Structure 1
Amino acid sequence: MSTARTMPGLLREAAERHTDHPAIVDGSLRLTYADLLREVETASRAYLASGIRPGDRVAIWAPNQAEFIVALCGAAYLGAAVVPLNTRFRGAEARMILERSRASALVVSDGFLGQDYLAMLARAGAPETDGTGPADGTGPPHLHTIVDLGAGTHPDAVTWADFLDRAAQVDPAEAAAAADAVTPDTICDILYTSGTTGLPKGVMSAHRQTIGVADVWARGALLSEADRYAVVNPFFHSFGYKAGFVTSFTAGTTVYPVRTFDPEALMSLIQQERITVLPGAPTIFTTLINHPERVDYDLSSLRFAIAGAATVPENLFVQMLDVLGFDQVAQAYGLTECVVATQSRPNEDPRHVAETTGPAVDGLEIRIVDADGTAQPTGADGEILIRGNNVMLGYFEDPEATAATIDRDGWLHTGDQGRLDEHGCVTITGRLKDMFTVGGFNVYPAEVENVVAGHPAIAEAAVIGVPDDRLGSVGRAYVTLRPGAALDDAELLAYCRERLANFKAPREVVVLDELPRNASGKILKRVLAGGA
């Protein structure tokens, strides 16, 4: 495993240790570890030529592809902080994060999934519109460089090839000096999460923490140079980024980016490239297990998987072993503020894996406390608190939110409910923040409620997650109407899809005369969910 504590150090060390070994295989593109370092150094010089400096923020709005990795690592190489954006975001969602982070550069794959990202971004900034009008808005004020990994036809964007050509304007020694100046405590990335307020908060991690998360994950998976890792989890998410390609680089593993989940294409990739490592949301594995063409593919190379980020069916891990043929399966628990908090132990009984997310990983402590902060005994439910090396530094330029989440003793208050068993393994029993998960992506009701309530017919809205066989859960919006208003359910759902990523948009609407409340006027979501 790597001993480096910065991204420049990690990439240099990997190039030295695994020089001619494949680092990335993306279709016909194959980069060795030596190639990867050269590409990253070139991207770093191109950023410098474009006016990006250490401490600036570089946003990336693109799918899993080799260029995403080079763009991210190139920014981190010079000491800029990376801000990944969800490829399902609509223009308003992306613009808000670009503005809150004050990103100087945006690397975007315009046209991915048929979406004109830059037009959406412009519409979101158009004056006196609701974000759906003509694309005549201006970009966020700090954004001065846009690099398009797609067709490159937007007048305000430069193509990836032309961007890399700018590297010739910068002496390699200048880029090397910038890389040498990066320290383990330099901010590496800012990952935005909406949380309970509906406004995105930027979770800051230092280089030592991003690599620390990768180290922990790699050790738990027993990653090595012999592994071939198909990364289905999106690179914009910590699961695909830190527990995906960065963790691979710590061990010399080969990364296979998967742009979108197509079960037959994925099984073909596993067969052709002899994929050994395949983590993902439970829906990926249930889809493969139940796929009628599964028996036509040779999946025998599969060695290790983690199924996490959603409610896990009770028999899933047994089926992953018996049907898909994995040698080892695991669960893990984490959140953006602490990406890998627990992880199943090697060779764990699959029945125990299904019941718990494993013990705290090295370098972290976990406590279970009641509402008064009193530690709870084994087997008792309470809020999960985490303390240790890889807990976030804080929220970007938001000391109040940071203080409300990390207490004076350094404990991260997760808002998640769980309990510890006699082995120190954590079982998640609830979400104190009302968050639910759709196909592996976290959805915070407050953000969705803000959008729903913006519809002219809606007086109030409350959103909950309801079970879904394919995605684990989906959103349901309960609404009350303004006096005299009428509502077309389909029109409201379309309104939400225009303004929210598809996984956030509710799938159904229920109109009520009034929302259930307690004595203090708080909406009782447990009643909406069918509870007492």
Structure 2
Amino acid sequence: MSTIIFRFRPKFSRFCLSACVREKSVWTSEKILTSASKEVDIPNLTVDQYLFSNLEKWATKTAVICGHTNRQYTYEEVYKKSRIFAANLRRKFKIKDGDAVTVLLPNAPEFPIITFGILAAGGVVTTMNPVYTAYEIQRQILLSETTLIITNEDLVPTVKEALKLAEKDFPIISLNFKNKPEGTASFKELVDDDHVDISILKEVNRKHDDVAFLPYSSGTTGLPKGVQLINRNIVANCEQQNTDFRQYEYTTESHQDSTLAVLPLFHLYGLSICMLHKMSVGMKLVTLPKFQPDMFLNTMLANRIDLMYLAPPMVMFLGAYPQVTAKHLEHVRAVTSGAAPLPSADIQRLFEKAEREIQFCQGYGLTETSPLISLTPFGEKTYEDVGYLLPNMYCRIVDEKMNNLGPGAVGELIVKGPNVMKGYLKNPQANSEVFVDGDWFRTGDLAKINENGLITIADRLKELIKVKGYQVPPAELENVLKEHPAILDAAVVGVPDTVTGERPRGFVVLKPEAKANDKDIMEFVSKRVAPYKKINEITFLKEIPKNPSGKILRKSLKEQYCK
């Protein structure tokens, strides 16, 4: 993912990983794959301590700027305002160590201030998609045991409705720039409070092995679960990206790389890779509240964007949208794609738009791994794979009995390393299903790895539907369908879609004598889920095919109805 002009320091080879992998065996005699990269030291710091450990190097440089409104903050301002916010969270809202605080926001330059403020106050950051319905918000409020929620002023009515559904009554802080909604506290007043005594932060006692983030993931199957990511997980994943896999140029007095934060920061790909890691090395973030073609392209013209982190639909957009020209991509040195596989043809179309070969790589990871597991090093052009293991990581390819299969074989990919989550919150059953042989984590993906450690994802064992890179668990939609008064049983599968990658398709069995049409059912679901989870096709069946243990035979449904 780099332009034709390389401005990299001569002492650092962008191709060193490719070379060392070819020269060095990374498989042990037990058929365990080890990273070919030198192990990194992981400092025992909390995320906020780690992020600001080099503050003096880039204090006056822009940390984050809104590509839409031009609202911006320097690193010094982010640090100061996050500390003021933290002190107010402790004093005025009685946040204690380990309390969960929900961030329900689109991308905004205040996102880092809020995140680091919660962490500095001793809280745990749990994020939500701002397009969630009140129904979805109330469920995560209850699961995460949230004590406070921070949101946009336009989302306050939905949050209040969610609190009623959850039968909860806790404070709402509104990120208000126009009017402060009734019954909320003003974020602006809290961060501009220069008179608050920040000495209260001396009470905070958070360590590197305490939980810092609580995003929600469906894992390999089932309903969303709270992923407990400790400070060390995030710090480790940042450090793992600073080695052979480094994509950025060092921030100096005369140079600062920038990246476009259009991936949602409530999702761990955007939060950890785009925001936390890039701010830890002093880069500039250009945020966009959401993806809109004109806003996206205008922002690329108005700002020098060096590195881009995208989901496949955005790569496809850049390669296919008529208004995209080489001018939009002239400064882009590198593009990384993740969240779902991307065909080589779409990458070539991007190169054609740029009128050159941008350095391009694909990565692989999960929310449960903070998130990055592997990355393609610069110089590799095998776009069908997802690269090599990051430092300090190990993986195995196993069969159904957890026997190691070794190089060249297709099996489930299981991994371990310092970036693997602590576990799912208060869910011992789910933990017992994903952790095997001690601390090995089951990814739920089928993969194969060659002799040199190059990883290729072959297929998914997991039942998740990937819509525009977002996880849509069938079980969640099935539960919503079953809440319909006319439905006896339901199943949901993912079917291919040229625009979104996949889309959910529903199958329902009506109760005896009950009547309902597909439009009625789809509207019922739409009111209860985010737009990307909506079902646009319903098939009525006499019964849902299941195996003897009651598990839905989704493969049978796909083979019979989704050809």
For normalisation by structure 1, the TM-score amounts to: 0.90
Q: What SS does the corresponding residue of 1:503 show, helix, strand or coil?
A: helix
Question: CA–CA distance in 1 between the matches of 2:45 and 2:287?
Answer: 24
Instruction: Decide which of 381, 402, 405 is 1:376's aligned counterpart.
Output: 405
Q: Which residue number in structure 1 is paired with residue 223 of structure 2?
A: 199
1: distance between equivalents of 2:445 and 2:74?
41
Task: Give the Cα–Cα distance (whole angstroms) in 2 for the partners of residues 357 and 444 of structure 1.
Answer: 23
| CA deviation after TM superposition for structure 1 residue 64, in Å | 0.4
Moved more, 1-10 or 301-310: 1-10
Residue identity in the other structure for 1:33:
Y
What's 1:29 paired with?
A: 71
| Match for residue 159 of structure 2 among 118, 121, 125 | 118
1:53 aligns with 2:96: yes
Structure 2 distance, partners of 1:419, 1:100, is 36
Q: Distance in 2 between matches of 1:517 and 1:104?
A: 41
Q: CA RMSD in A?
A: 2.3
Supply the distance in 2 between the matched residues of 1:217 and 1:282 (Cα, whole angstroms): 21
Are 2:375 and 1:343 aligned? Answer: yes
Q: Does 147-156 or 495-504 show the bigger shift?
A: 147-156
Distance change (3 Å), C-alpha of 1:370 and 1:152: farther
Of 182, 194, 216, the residue aligned with 2:206 is 182
What's the counterpart of residue 155 of structure 1? 182
Q: CA deviation at 1:343?
A: 1.0
The answer to whether structure 1 residue 211 and structure 2 residue 235 are counterparts is: yes
CA pair 499-287 structure 1, distance change in 2 beyond 3 A: same
- 1:123 deviation in Å? 5.0
* 1:103 matched residue in structure 2: 146
Q: Cα offset for 1:254? A: 0.2
User: Aligned pair 1:308/2:338, yes or no?
Assistant: yes
Amino acid at match of 2:379: N
- Partner Cα distance (2:317, 2:48) in 1: 38
Output one character per residue of 1:72-116: Cα deviation in whole Å (capped at 9) or x when no partner.
Answer: 11011232111011112111211121122211111011315xx84
User: Which residue is 1:293 aligned to?
Assistant: 323
CA distance in structure 1 between the aligned counterparts of 2:157 and 2:444, rounded to whole angstroms? 36
The structural deviation recorded for 1:124 is 2.7
CA–CA distance in structure 2, aligned partners of residues 8 and 312 of structure 1: 34
* Residues 1:93 and 2:136 are matched in the alignment: yes
Q: Evaluate the alpha carbon distance shift between residue 110 and residue 279 of structure 1 in structure 2; reply closer, same or farther with a 3 A threshold.
A: same
How big is the shift at 1:505? Answer: 1.9
The secondary structure found in structure 1 opposite 2:430 is helix
User: Partners in 1 of 2:185 and 2:218 — Cα distance?
Assistant: 30
CA distance in 1, matches of 2:139, 2:70: 36
- 1:456 equivalent in structure 2: 485
Q: TM-score, length-normalised on structure 2?
A: 0.85
Q: Which residue of 36, 39, 48 corresponds with 1:8?
A: 48
What is the aligned counterpart of 1:330 among 361, 383, 408? 361
Describe the shift of the 1:14–1:321 C-alpha distance in structure 2 as closer, same or farther (beyond 3 A).
farther
Deviation at 1:448, TM superposition (A): 0.8
Which position in structure 1 is the counterpart of 2:35?
A: none
Q: Take 2:557 and 2:514, find their aligned partners in 1: how far apart are those partners?
A: 23
Q: Which piece of structure 1 moves more, 7-16 or 225-234?
A: 7-16
2:495 equivalent in structure 1: 466
Instruction: Output the amino acid matched with 2:380.
Output: E
Which residue number corresponds to residue 17 of structure 1? 57
Task: Give secondary structure in 2 for the equivalent of 1:380.
Answer: coil
Structure 1 residues 337-416: aligned runs within 5 Å: 337-338=368-369, 339-349=371-381, 352-353=382-383, 355-416=384-445
Q: 3-state DSSP class of the match of 2:445?
A: strand
Structure 1 residue 273 displacement after superposition: 0.7
CA distance in 2, matches of 1:327, 1:217: 20
CA distance in 2, matches of 1:403, 1:371: 16
Supply the distance in 1 between the matched residues of 2:258 and 2:130 (Cα, whole angstroms).
25
Task: Provide the rounded CA distance (Å) in 2 between the counterparts of 1:152 and 1:431.
Answer: 47
Mark the CA change 1:218 to 1:92 in structure 2 (over 3 Å): closer, same or farther: farther
- Take 1:362 and 1:207, find their aligned partners in 2: how far apart are those partners? 18
Q: Show the counterpart of 1:130.
A: none
> How far apart, in 2, do the equivalents of 1:277 and 1:18 lie?
19
The whole-number CA distance in structure 1 between the counterparts of 2:327 and 2:513 is 58
Q: Which amino acid aligns with 1:105?
A: L
Q: Which among 212, 222, 226 is matched to residue 247 of structure 2?
A: 222
Superposed displacement of residue 404, structure 1: 2.5
Inter-partner Cα distance in structure 2 for 1:509 and 1:334: 32
2:291 to 254, 261, 272: 261
Q: Is the 8 A contact 1:110 1:117 kept in 2?
A: no
In the TM superposition, residue 481 of structure 1 has moved relative to its aligned partner by 1.4
Does the 8 A contact of 1:218 with 1:248 survive in 2? no
- Report % sequence identity: 27
Question: Amino acid of the residue matched to residue 188 of structure 1?
Answer: A
| Counterpart-to-counterpart distance in 1, 2:550 and 2:231 | 44
Work out whether residues 311 and 338 of structure 2, in 8 Å CA contact, stay in contact via their aligned partners in 1. Answer: yes
Against the structure 1 CA distance between its residues 432 and 510, is the aligned structure 2 distance closer, same or farther, given a 3 Å change threshold? same
Say whether 1:444 aligns with 2:473: yes
Please give the secondary structure, in 1, of the residue aligned with 2:531: coil
Q: Do the aligned partners of 1:228 and 1:253 also contact (CA within 8 Å) in 2? A: yes
Give the Cα–Cα distance (whole angstroms) in 2 for the partners of residues 166 and 100 of structure 1.
32
- 3-state DSSP of counterpart to 1:404: helix
AA matched with 1:280: L
3-state SS, counterpart of residue 329 of structure 1: strand
Superposition pairs of residues 126-141 of structure 1, within 5 angstroms: 138-139=167-168
Could you tell me which amino acid in structure 2 is paired with residue 157 of structure 1? T
2:464 matched to 1:435?
yes
Query: CA deviation digits over 1:471-509, x for unaligned, max 9?
Result: 111111111211122222122111111111111222211
Looking at structure 2, the residues matched to 458 and 314 of structure 1 have their Cα atoms a distance apart, in angstroms, of: 42
Q: Is the 8 A contact 1:7 1:77 kept in 2?
A: no
Instruction: Name whichever of 324-333 and 204-213 sits farther off.
Output: 324-333
Task: Classify 1:199/1:520 alpha carbon distance in 2 versus 1 (closer, same or farther; 3 Å).
Answer: closer
Q: After alignment, is 401-410 or 333-342 more displaced? A: 401-410
CA drift of 1:439 comes to 0.5
**Is the 1:79–1:186 contact (alpha carbons within 8 Å) kept by the matching residues of 2?**
no
| Number of aligned positions between the proteins | 509
* Equivalent residues of 2:86, 2:120 under 8 A apart: yes
Q: Distance in 1 between matches of 2:396 and 2:418?
A: 15
Q: 2: distance between equivalents of 1:358 and 1:13? A: 30
Which residue of structure 1 aligns with residue 13 of structure 2? Answer: none
Identify the residue that residue 168 of structure 1 maps to in structure 2. Answer: 195
1:43 Cα deviation from its structure 2 partner: 1.0
